[in-house]
Structure 1
Amino acid sequence: MSDRTILVWFRNDLRINDNEILLEAVRKADKVLPVYCFDPYYFQHTASGAPKTGSFRARFLIEAVADLRKNLQGFGAELIIRIGNPADVIPQLAEEYHVNEVYHHREVAYEETKISEEVEAALWKMRLNLKHFIGHTMYHKEDLPFPIKDIPDSFAVFKKKVERDSNVRSCVPTPAHIIVPEIADAGELPTLQQLGLTEPVDDPRAAEYFQGGETAALVQMHKYFSHLDIAIKQKNGRSGAEFSSKLSPWLSIGCISPRQVYWEIQKYGSNGNLLKLELLWRDYFRFMFKKHGQKFIKAKDEAQDFAPDADMLLQKWKNGETGIPLIDAAMHELNATGFISNQNRQIVAGYLVNTIKADWTQGAAYFEEKLIDYSPASNWGNWAFIAGVNDAKESKYTIATKLPKELEAKTDFVNTWQPSSIDDAGDLVEA
């Protein structure tokens, strides 16, 4: 009887711990074939001429895949790396290695699900099954107190019912060992140049350097909770609100799972509530995309009232040349590092939508290019909330009550612009 081989198609789940598809493949198959595919679709240039994926995020991704390969090698396994359309690459590898089934984690946003459907159709022609798993949320879909079609559109109602009636599952065990077929050509990691990008320049003012990979993710999680532990022991009133976990880059491509973070939070009681709330928002946006699809971020039917000079103002917003210190500082930081705080994201998005009245979808696309921690559901869901184009009943965040001047003083990036004239830096519209 021939060996059973399962191909594990890694996408936004670049980890070994708490990875159900990897564990199930090890349990169900004699051999496991781990694969990661750099899809050229994500590295093309958009109609505006900008790269769909910016250099900071691409570098972070390459580092994460390299770390996954290294960690798999520690289990005696190997990661096959290819550059190409997954609908071509996955079937080719399935045929070459006599694969019996392919596992992957299900996605929810349009582009990602379309790619899955293309791979599934190609495998179906070979009489092979693409098995879908759910592994990107804190709460499992099957544990929600309502079917997807009945999920409340109001986050407040969603939160109340989920926290009252659902439980977060335990993390799945890590495989003890991983047996792979004999691999003739594992493939090399691509360079940024091969992906059509240039090497990003790290700005010395950046507060953090984000290193891709599960190893760095676990270090960052330990660092955050160590800080939280110290704050609690010192009884200085800090409950996590004054320092960010900055785990979002690793969560976005699955170097660490929401469940792993949740179960660490549970050790700290109410002191971890803020981070738990952020994880729940991530869940909510994913479930909204699952429920509504593209309609969740579809513009209203009525004509949108853009400012006459919206294109020029949009470019000034991108460049950090609006003349509003806080806006410009945040955009300079985004451009120079690929990361800004959640609060500043809401502020600059609100400014683009409500003050300069530019096309919010162009703002969302710019964030998609620039953000290291870009996640389709969270990014586009957030922007749609601020633009008011979905069925949400409340704003996502109460934007800072502090005056812009107080916030500006906390960043070095505010000094990188030269305004022609500013009458009142406090003239910032609340998002």
Structure 2
Amino acid sequence: MSKKILVWFRNDLRLHDNEMLVEAIAKSDSILPVYILDPRQFVETKYGTLKTGSIRAQFTLESVLGLRHSLKQIGGNLLIVTGSPEDIVPQLVQEYEITEVYHHREVAREETHVSALVENALWKLRINLKHFIGHTLYNKEDLPFPIKDIPDAFNQFKKKIERDSIIKPCFAAPDRINVAEVIDWGTLPELAELNLLQQAQDKRSDLEFLGGEAEGLAHLQKVILLMQQAATSKNLILASKLSAWLAIGCLSPRKVYWEIKKMEGVPNTKAMFNHILLGLLWRDYFRFMFKKYGNTFFSPNGFGSQGLVDVENEQENFSKWKNAQTGFAVVDAVMTELNTTGFISNVARQTAALYLINNLEVSWVFGAAYFEEKLIDYNPASNWGNWANVAGVGNDQKSKSVFDLDKNIKNLDPKGNYALTWSS
């Protein structure tokens, strides 16, 4: 009997640096690459927001089709199915006589719950679900401490792993693949079928985000080119905007690291290199914190106690904030940019969060849920972890006083140009 491995793609939509795919190819006679579009990712949340808005949904659909195209280039294909993974995976296992299932492990509650449901269903069929970890710069097993002992303070975490851990090289992308015989590889639904409307590119945006591994790798090369150009401008730090492709796994964080590391010897690029590396380390930190503490990050009081909440006016104030109608120019500009492009800078995110929490006295979880809907680069750990930190209920309670709205506004819009550009 031939060995067939089902490779369940989730937020890992790439061929490069994909240990799961490399091992599946090496240990099987053929594989069945599968992407499952889960309708639960497009429902309304208890906060009155959507799990996934139109901009990120479009980016996701493009990324899935990009993966299918990449697989076809090496002799394969991608089976696309709509439904619940805990129902679909066992069905496919039986239909295609699968001997093992591979997938990447997630850290947030909804994603891990789905994994558990799939694992339980497969256990009844005596089929193993093998977990891989491919979302972080540093592998969990290479950390200088067990998960339970990871420092809560980011600076301590950064110092220790940079001193005592290594960043492994990338796995090479496969150049050939054998896939199971499938009559109908399936199609992706259109946005309209997900009850979402296509959103036109905003002319004020300096980048059109297009999903897919090829687009992510191309954008990475553009960032490197910008770094080369920045060599003539001392300490120029440019926003890389790589996070959208990182969030859905079109780009591997290790790929980003090793590519920009090639620029290490170029004069005046150190600041840009450090800026990108810092972003990758923050991504790792929050993923490992979620692994350490689990669902505490989704609780309004988190690791402390949230501040005042104006319960009587909360919904009205939340509505003004998300619709860019607070009357506070910079905040309204931030929300306009978010609503029309799906992307805002880190300082803009902090500015909007501080205003919602401290000035409008709305519970931070409403803001986090809205960002979940709107951000093209949403991932649970970074989004909810950052919001908890700004709200003062994060796991590092010593960081409660580091956020300052006035200081953020000065950094974001020192001359008022930003508010003018993004006035609705």
Q: Deviations over 1:87-115 (max 9, x none)?
A: 01111111111110000010000010001
Does 2:376 correspond to 1:372?
A: yes
**How many angstroms does 1:121 deviate by?**
0.6
Q: Deviations over 1:380-428 (max 9, x none)?
A: 0000001111221326878537266525303654332xxxxxxxxxxxx
Relative to structure 1, the CA distance from residue 404 to residue 284 in structure 2 (aligned partners, 3 Å threshold; closer, same or farther) is: closer
**How many angstroms does 1:297 deviate by?**
4.1
Does 2:405 correspond to 1:402?
A: no
TM-score (norm 2): 0.93
Q: Secondary structure at the match of 2:361?
A: coil
* Contact map agreement 1:325 1:414 (CA 8 A) in 2: no
Question: Which residue number in structure 2 is paired with residue 238 of structure 1?
Answer: 235
Q: How far apart, CA to CA, are the structure 1 residues paired with 2:206 and 2:219?
A: 14
**How many angstroms does 1:356 deviate by?**
1.4
Question: Which residue number in structure 2 is paired with residue 257 of structure 1?
Answer: 252
Question: Which residue number in structure 1 is paired with residue 363 of structure 2?
Answer: 359
Q: How far apart, CA to CA, are the structure 1 residues paired with 2:290 and 2:251?
A: 22
Relative to structure 1, the CA distance from residue 162 to residue 294 in structure 2 (aligned partners, 3 Å threshold; closer, same or farther) is: same
Identity %: 51
Question: Which residue number in structure 2 is paired with residue 427 of structure 1?
Answer: none
**How many angstroms does 1:366 deviate by?**
0.3
Which of 305, 321, 326 is 2:308 aligned to?
305
Please give the root-mean-square deviation of Cα atoms over the aligned residues, in Å: 1.7
Q: Secondary structure at the match of 1:402?
A: helix
Q: Deviations over 1:293-320 (max 9, x none)?
A: 0123433375852124232111111111
Question: Which residue number in structure 2 is paired with residue 161 of structure 1?
Answer: 160
2:243 aligned partner, one-letter code: S
Q: How far apart, CA to CA, are the structure 2 residues paired with 1:397 and 1:216?
A: 34
Relative to structure 2, which stretch is displaced further, 5-14 or 305-314? 305-314
Mind listing any 5+ residue stretches in structure 2 that lack a counterpart?
Answer: 265-269
Does 2:114 correspond to 1:115?
A: yes
1:15 aligned partner, one-letter code: R
Mapping of 1:65-214 within 5 angstroms? Answer: 65-214=64-213
Q: How far apart, CA to CA, are the structure 2 residues paired with 1:283 and 1:405?
A: 29
**How many angstroms does 1:174 deviate by?**
1.5
* Contact map agreement 2:245 2:251 (CA 8 A) in 1: yes
Q: Deviations over 1:180-199 (max 9, x none)?
A: 01111100111112222122
**How many angstroms does 1:324 deviate by?**
1.2
Relative to structure 1, the CA distance from residue 302 to residue 251 in structure 2 (aligned partners, 3 Å threshold; closer, same or farther) is: closer
Q: Deviations over 1:242-292 (max 9, x none)?
A: x21101010000000100011112223334011000100000000000000
1:268 aligned partner, one-letter code: M
2:323 aligned partner, one-letter code: N
* Contact map agreement 1:8 1:35 (CA 8 A) in 2: yes
Q: How far apart, CA to CA, are the structure 2 residues paired with 1:62 and 1:303?
A: 37
Q: Deviations over 1:154-173 (max 9, x none)?
A: 10110110100001011012
Q: How far apart, CA to CA, are the structure 2 residues paired with 1:186 and 1:413?
A: 45
**How many angstroms does 1:339 deviate by?**
1.0
**How many angstroms does 1:238 deviate by?**
3.4
Question: Which residue number in structure 1 is paired with residue 267 of structure 2?
Answer: none
Relative to structure 2, which stretch is displaced further, 307-316 or 133-142? 307-316
Relative to structure 1, the CA distance from residue 408 to residue 32 in structure 2 (aligned partners, 3 Å threshold; closer, same or farther) is: farther
1:259 aligned partner, one-letter code: R
* Contact map agreement 1:155 1:394 (CA 8 A) in 2: no
Q: How far apart, CA to CA, are the structure 2 residues paired with 1:130 and 1:404?
A: 46
2:325 aligned partner, one-letter code: E
Mind listing any 5+ residue stretches in structure 1 that lack a counterpart?
Answer: 417-431
1:346 aligned partner, one-letter code: Q
* Contact map agreement 2:300 2:363 (CA 8 A) in 1: no
Q: How far apart, CA to CA, are the structure 2 residues paired with 1:296 and 1:370?
A: 19
* Contact map agreement 1:330 1:413 (CA 8 A) in 2: no
Question: Which residue number in structure 2 is paired with residue 22 of structure 1?
Answer: 21
Relative to structure 1, the CA distance from residue 397 to residue 30 in structure 2 (aligned partners, 3 Å threshold; closer, same or farther) is: farther
Q: How far apart, CA to CA, are the structure 1 residues paired with 2:182 and 2:418?
A: 52
Q: How far apart, CA to CA, are the structure 1 residues paired with 2:47 and 2:152?
A: 33
Q: Secondary structure at the match of 1:410?
A: helix
Question: Which residue number in structure 2 is paired with residue 414 of structure 1?
Answer: 422
Question: Which residue number in structure 2 is paired with residue 61 of structure 1?
Answer: 60
Relative to structure 1, the CA distance from residue 158 to residue 49 in structure 2 (aligned partners, 3 Å threshold; closer, same or farther) is: closer
Q: How far apart, CA to CA, are the structure 2 residues paired with 1:405 and 1:180?
A: 52
Q: Deviations over 1:310-355 (max 9, x none)?
A: 3211111111111111100010111111111111001111111122
Q: Secondary structure at the match of 1:29?
A: coil
* Contact map agreement 1:213 1:255 (CA 8 A) in 2: yes
